[in-house]
Structure 1
Amino acid sequence: MKIAVMGAGAVGCYYGGMVARAGHEVVLIGRPAHVEAVRRDGLYLDTQTFQAHVPMQASTDASGVRGAALVLCCVKSTDSESAAADMAPHLAPGAQVLSLQNGVDNAERLQALLGREVAPAVVYVATEMAGPGHVKHHGRGELVIGPSAASANLVKLFADAGVPVQVSDNVMGALWAKLILNCAYNALSAITQLPYGLLVQGQGVEDVMRDAVLECLAVAQAEGVSVPGDTWDAVQRIARTMPTQFSSTAQDLARHKRSEIDHLNGYVLRKGAARGIATPVNRVLHTLVRLLEGRPAPAEQPV
C-alpha cells in the first residue's frame, strides 16, 4: 500500500517509519533539510528496541500524496486548513485520511475542507526530531481510532508494523482524554523547559496540574463528552512512562516556533467561555505560553 505522511515531524516520521519498515511504500512530506536527508540516507528510526535506516520517498510538496491509499495527516493543529487546501487537488478519490494530531477538532476541520470522511486518531507516543532525517522514540506508540468500515484494515496494517491500535466507540472521549493530558503537561513543560519526570517533582506543580484537569473535565461535561477512565491516574502515569519527554510545546518554544497552545489550553478556554465555565488556570497557562512565543529568537535580540 502507498501511504503518505502529510507533515513529517516527530509523530509523522515515527509512524511513517514503522509502516515503511513493515514493507509499505511511504512518502514523507516535510521541510527541505529533512526531505534531503531522507532522500540521501533514508529515515533513521531510533527507537527503544531497534535502530535502523529505513529507505522511503520524501517530498517538500503536497503533491506527494498523489496515489496514496492512506494519508496520515500529522501537521500542527494550526496548519490543518492550509494542509487541507494543499492536499485537496492531489488526493485519490478513494484515499482514506487519518488525523494523527493534537486537539479534538482537527478531523472535523479537515473533513469540512476536503469534502470526505477524515478519521480521528488519538496518539500516545513520545518522540522528537533529533536532527534532519533522524526521529528518536522515547516511549509508547499506541493509537486509538473510532469504528469504521476501514478500522479492521487499519488495525491489521499498524499491528503488522508493531503499532498497537485500539478501536473505541467513544473516540471523542478519548480525544478529550488526550487533550486533558496535553493541558496538564504541555504548557508547564514549555514554560519551565523541563521533561515530565522532573516537572512533576516541583513544589506545587501537581496542584496546578490537578486544577487544570478539573477545569477541563468541567468543560468536557458541559460539552456532553464522557471522558473515559481515571483522568488523574492517567495524568500521573504520563510522568512515569515518559519521564524524559519534553512536551511538543516545549520543543516548539525551544526552537522559537509557533506552538499548538491555542488548540490545547486555548481550546478549553474558548469552550469554557462559551459555556459560562471559568478556566483561570488554563487561561494563565495559555497566556504565559503565548507570551513566550512572542520572544525574539537569539539572532533577533537587540544589541
Structure 2
Amino acid sequence: MRVAVLGAGAIGAYVGACLQRAGVEVHLIARGPHLEAIRRSGVQVHSPRGDFVAHPHATDRPEEVGPVDHIFLGLKANQYASAGPMVQPMLHESTTIIAAQNGIPWWYFHGVPSEFQGHRLETVDPGGSVSAALPTWRAIGCVVYAATEISAPGQIQHLEGTRLSIGEPDGSQSDRCMEFADAMVAGGLKCPVEPDLRHDIWVKLMGNIAFNPISALTRATMLGICQNTATRELVVDMMRETLAVAESLDVHPQISIERRLNGAERAGDHKTSTLQDLEKGKPLELDAILGAVVELADLTRTEIPVLRAVNALADLLNAGIDPSA
C-alpha cells in the first residue's frame, strides 16, 4: 500500500510516521525547515506512549511521488480549493482522499438519501472549487481526536489521544476504508470505521464551533473561556444552537453540553488551532467550522442568533488578516 500525506504538519507527520512504522510505503509532502529536518533526521515522535523515529520519504514535489492508494490530507479546510495541482499527480483510478479536517466537509450531502442530497455548501465548496479539486467519490471522511503539535522542525509532540475515526459518506463498510484502518491500527493508532461519521463530525464540532472563534476574538485559552462566567454561558448557547442545526438534519449527537465543557476545561491553558493561526498571521479556518453551520441553519430554517453574531465578528476579524504581511 502506498500512502501520501499532503500537508505533513503536526497531525499529518504523526499519522505518516505511524503508518511507516507499520510497514506502509509513506510519502510526506512538506516544505521549509520542517521538510529539511525530516529529510535529515526523520520524523521524531515524542509521546507519553513511547518515543520513536520514522524515516518516510519526504518531498515538496508531489510529482516525485506518483500515484498512490490513499492521500491523507493534513491541510486546513481553507486550503482545499487550491490543492488540485498537488493532488493530481498522485491519483490513479481508485485513489482515495482521506480528509482530516475540522468542521463540515465539502462532501456532507454526498452519499446518503436526504432532501438535500447533492446540495453544495458555498462556505466549504465555493463555486464548486473544492469538489473540482477533490472529487466527492474519492472522499473518505476523517474526524481527528488525537492532539499533536510541532515542537521543532521534524519533531512531533504527541499530547493525547490516538483515535482518528474514518467513514464513507454513504456509511458503507468499504474495502478501501478497512484497508486504511487496518494499516493505522498496525501503526499503533485507533481507527474505527464508523457507519455514521456525521455523528462524530457534529460531536467534535460542538467544541470547535464555540472555542475556536471565541479564543481568536478574545485571545483566551480553553481554560480561560470555561472559567469566565459570561463566556462559559456563551459557549453553552452556541452549543445549544449547534445541536439544533444537527437535529434539523436528522443527526442526534449523544453527548451533553456539560460533558463537552468539562472536557474542554480539562485541556487547561491550551490555545485552539484558530488562535494559533491568528498569532501567526494565517487566515482562520472558520468557514467550515462556523460559517457552514450558519449556512446549514439557513437551509433548514433554524434559529441561531448567537452563532450568527459570533460569525459576523469572526468574519470581520478574518477579513483584517493579511497573510503576506
TM band (smaller chain) = 0.7 to 0.9
The CA deviation string for residues 2-61 of structure 1, in whole angstroms up to 9 with x for no partner, is: 211111122212211222233322211122222112111211212232233321221223
Coordinate RMSD, CA, aligned: 2.5
Superposed, 1:145-294 pairs within 5 Å as: 145-146=166-167, 147-222=173-248, 224-239=249-264, 242-294=267-319
Q: 2:149 corresponds to which residue?
A: 128
The CA deviation string for residues 258-289 of structure 1, in whole angstroms up to 9 with x for no partner, is: 11111111111122233333323222333333
Structure 1 Cα separation of the partners of residues 192 and 218 of structure 2: 33
* 1:64–1:172 Cα change, 3 Å: farther
Q: 2:91 corresponds to which residue?
A: 91
State yes or no: 1:12 paired with 2:2: no
* Deviation, structure 1 residue 112: 5.4
Structure 1 Cα separation of the partners of residues 300 and 205 of structure 2: 18
SS of equivalent to 1:259: coil
The answer to whether the 8 A contact 2:283-2:321 is kept is: no
Structure 2 Cα separation of the partners of residues 271 and 226 of structure 1: 13
State yes or no: 1:78 paired with 2:78: yes
The answer to whether the 8 A contact 1:252-1:258 is kept is: yes
The answer to whether the 8 A contact 2:72-2:100 is kept is: yes
TM-score, normalization by structure 1: 0.88
Structure 2: segments with no counterpart, 5+ residues: 109-124, 168-172
SS of equivalent to 1:141: coil
Which piece of structure 1 moves more, 230-239 or 261-270? 230-239
Structure 1 Cα separation of the partners of residues 85 and 65 of structure 2: 13
Counterpart amino acid of residue 284 in structure 2: S
The CA deviation string for residues 122-181 of structure 1, in whole angstroms up to 9 with x for no partner, is: 111222222322222221131222232233323321111111122222111221222222
* 1:25–1:233 Cα change, 3 Å: farther
Which piece of structure 1 moves more, 167-176 or 100-109? 100-109
* Deviation, structure 1 residue 294: 4.4
Structure 1 Cα separation of the partners of residues 131 and 65 of structure 2: 16
* Deviation, structure 1 residue 182: 0.9
The CA deviation string for residues 208-257 of structure 1, in whole angstroms up to 9 with x for no partner, is: 111001111111222x2313311414512432553343211111111110
* Deviation, structure 1 residue 120: 0.4
* 1:71–1:195 Cα change, 3 Å: same
* Deviation, structure 1 residue 195: 3.1
Counterpart amino acid of residue 63 in structure 1: E
Structure 1: segments with no counterpart, 5+ residues: none
SS of equivalent to 2:227: coil
Structure 1 Cα separation of the partners of residues 304 and 237 of structure 2: 9
| Aligned residues between the structures | 299
Structure 2 Cα separation of the partners of residues 231 and 194 of structure 1: 23
Which piece of structure 1 moves more, 5-14 or 99-108? 99-108
Q: 1:119 corresponds to which residue?
A: 140
The answer to whether the 8 A contact 1:27-1:64 is kept is: no
SS of equivalent to 2:163: strand
Counterpart amino acid of residue 38 in structure 2: V
State yes or no: 1:138 paired with 2:148: no
